[in-house]
Amino acid sequence: MPTITNSVQEINDLIKRMSGKEQDALLADLKKWSILKKARRLDSSVLDNSLTRQDAVNEVRMVRRERCK
């Protein structure tokens, strides 16, 4: 059963055998994949915002009234 260390070493060896252009392309793809993964995670954590401008105005007015008391 291969260990993680062996797998990492195999990946490193494969990358070392690639040409410079192939390494650059791989790096670009990995960066793109990483950015997409982060975007998906952020997108899934965003809640729907049904707050309207009028709701915000009403909230500000209520806070100002409370301060003036």
Report pLDDT digits (tens) over 18-64: 999 999 999 999 999 999 899 888 888 777 778 889 999 999 999 99
Q: 26, 15 in Cβ contact below 8 A?
A: yes
Distance, CA of 22 to CA of 27 (rounded, Å): 9
- Local confidence band at 4 (pLDDT 50, 70, 90 cut-offs): confident
Domain range for 29: 4-68
Q: What is the DSSP string of 2-52?
A: --HHHHHHHHHHHHHHS-HHHHHHHHHHHHHHHHHHHHHHHHHHPPP----
pLDDT of residue 2: 65
User: How far is Cα 15 from Cα 4, in angstroms, rounded to an integer?
Assistant: 16
Q: Model pTM?
A: 0.50
What's the structural domain count of the chain?
A: 1
